[in-house]
């Protein structure tokens, strides 16, 4: 059984200069597509469930599904991660259901809408880190609010994210504050706000540095070279997937996502986890639309879910190859969470700061 903690996986990725995509899961088809892709290219993988996914699928169903996937693919290290936890309770119940990693998103208050104060973020993230590390589970934190640098809008989607206009300061992670945040919370990974947002409608043109601030990643990495960075909202929204949806009756306005080459640049600057949901949603939806349009007499869900799974598997495989994750599964021997807990207790996994951060602390 190869269920792995986020920390162990991202430490391996950092050591070998690659990153790991974190694919969202809501149902069996997505789980099978992710693991088939990982198996085809011998890659470790992160599967993540949002609060919405947990409500949709039911915690027990999700937990048993992950058990099944891990049993079917025992040679693939699988990290099971809570996406955008909004409270201590959300993180605790995820751990109860076998998650090996949680995100405590304290950039927003518990309503997952209102931008939180820095002090609130530090305090709640620290509490979750204490609880999780006692039992060897990893924690991702977030500093800065996700949203568009083009419009200044937060990214309210499916009940998550701020609705309204934010200042540039709120939309961009402050690198100096990131050092302080990691020191105070001891998170295992840090999500950076730099102009990405969830969903398909990220940019109205191919993004440049004004609206996709990769420079923030570079500066945070310069100050925190040993901290694993996370890019949210990192679907690339490929043109061919937009075209398939629209060719078969969809009405998606033209849009742009995060170009893969920008993510690859981020990987050179400490990005180790890349969150992808929208691309997979679009891949599945395109095939479902195609089958139902071409065969309007069809009513067996397997007839459209199988091509949908196949399209999602292709996207997952492509990202595992593009991010350098492919080929690394056989090198990793997943440690049980009890061993990770001992490593945290010994101080071995406490944050290590580069010269620049030490200088900042002294000032
Ligand atoms: O956090 C964003 C992911 O795309 C999950 O979306 O909350 O609609 O499941 P969701
Ligand atoms: P996308 O909507 O770009 O796929 O981002 C997903 C995400 O960040 C989940 O946390
Ligand atoms: Zn996200």
% residues pLDDT > 90 (the chain):
90
Residue 359 CA to ligand 1 centre (angstroms): 38
Compute the distance between CA of residue 257 and CA of residue 63 in angstroms, rounded to an integer.
Answer: 31
Predicted TM-score of the model (pTM): 0.97
List, chain by chain if needed, residues with CB within 6 Å of any ligand 2 atom: 24, 83-84, 198-199, 232-235, 275-278
In this predicted structure, the answer to whether residue 158 has a pLDDT above a threshold of 60 is no
* Residue 180 is a catalytic residue: no
What was the pLDDT predicted at 359? 73
Tokens at 64, concatenated? 């048993």
What was the pLDDT predicted at 1? 62
Compute the distance between CA of residue 348 and CA of residue 330 in angstroms, rounded to an integer.
Answer: 25
What was the pLDDT predicted at 166? 80
Which residues have C-beta within 8 Å of that of residue 58, sequence separation ≥ 6? none
In this predicted structure, the answer to whether residue 157 has a pLDDT above a threshold of 70 is no
In this predicted structure, the answer to whether residue 363 has a pLDDT above a threshold of 80 is no
**Cα 224 versus chain centre, distance:** 20
Tokens at 36, concatenated? 């088939």
Looking at 198-309, which runs of residues are DSSP E strands?
Answer: 228-231, 271-276
pLDDT in tens, 166-203: 888 889 999 999 999 999 999 999 999 999 999 999 99
Across the range 240-246, mean pLDDT stands at 98
Q: 109 near 149, Cβ under 8 Å? A: no
pLDDT category at 99 given cuts 50, 70, 90 is very high
Compute the distance between CA of residue 133 and CA of residue 125 in angstroms, rounded to an integer.
Answer: 12
Mean of pLDDT over the chain: 95
Which residues have C-beta within 8 Å of that of residue 194, sequence separation ≥ 6? 144, 172, 173, 212, 213, 214, 216, 217, 231
Across the range 13-27, mean pLDDT stands at 98
pLDDT in tens, 288-315: 999 999 999 999 999 999 999 999 999 9
Residue 189 CA to ligand 1 centre (angstroms): 19
Q: 183 near 139, Cβ under 8 Å? A: no
In this predicted structure, the answer to whether residue 335 has a pLDDT above a threshold of 90 is yes
What was the pLDDT predicted at 226? 97
Which residues are placed with Cβ below 5 angstroms of ligand 3, an ion? Answer: 232, 275
In this structure, the chain runs to a length of 363
Compute the distance between CA of residue 220 and CA of residue 168 in angstroms, rounded to an integer.
Answer: 17
Residue 232 CA to ligand 3 centre (angstroms): 4
Tokens at 132, concatenated? 């999780």
Which member of 11, 59, 83, 208 is catalytic?
83
């Amino acid at each position: 059984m190869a269920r792995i903690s986020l920390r162990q996986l991202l430490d391996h990725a950092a050591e070998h200069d690659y990153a790991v995509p974190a694919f969202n899961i809501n149902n069996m088809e997505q789980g099978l597509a992710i693991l088939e892709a990982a198996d085809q290219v011998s890659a470790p993988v992160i599967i993540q469930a949002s609060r919405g996914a947990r409500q949709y699928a039911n915690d027990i169903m999700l937990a048993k599904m992950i058990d099944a996937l891990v049993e079917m693919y025992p040679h693939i290290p699988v990290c099971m991660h809570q996406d955008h936890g909004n409270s201590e309770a959300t993180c605790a119940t995820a751990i109860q259901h076998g998650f090996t990693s949680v995100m405590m998103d304290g950039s927003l208050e518990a309503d997952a809408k209102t931008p939180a104060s820095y002090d609130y973020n530090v305090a709640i993230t620290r509490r979750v880190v204490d609880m999780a590390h006692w039992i060897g589970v990893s924690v991702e934190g977030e500093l800065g609010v996700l949203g568009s640098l083009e419009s200044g809008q937060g990214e309210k989607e499916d009940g998550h994210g701020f609705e309204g206009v934010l200042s540039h300061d709120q939309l961009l992670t402050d690198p100096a504050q990131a050092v302080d945040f990691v020191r105070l919370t001891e998170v295992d990974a840090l999500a950076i706000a730099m102009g990405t947002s969830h969903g398909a409608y990220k940019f109205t043109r191919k993004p440049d540095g004004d609206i996709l601030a990769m420079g923030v990643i570079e500066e945070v990495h310069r100050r925190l070279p040993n901290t694993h960075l996370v890019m949210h909202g990192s679907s690339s929204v490929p043109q061919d997937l937009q075209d398939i949806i629209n060719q078969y009756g969809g009405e998606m306005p033209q849009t742009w996502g995060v170009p893969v080459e920008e993510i690859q640049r981020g990987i050179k600057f400490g990005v180790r986890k890349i969150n992808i949901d929208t691309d997979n949603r679009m891949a599945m939806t395109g095939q479902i639309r195609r089958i139902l349009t071409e065969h309007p007499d069809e009513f067996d869900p397997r007839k459209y879910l199988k091509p949908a799974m196949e399209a999602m598997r292709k996207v997952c495989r492509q990202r595992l190859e593009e991010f350098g994750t492919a080929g690394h599964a056989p090198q990793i021997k997943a440690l049980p969470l009890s061993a990770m807990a001992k490593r945290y207790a010994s101080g071995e996994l406490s944050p290590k700061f580069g010269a620049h951060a030490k200088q900042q602390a002294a000032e």
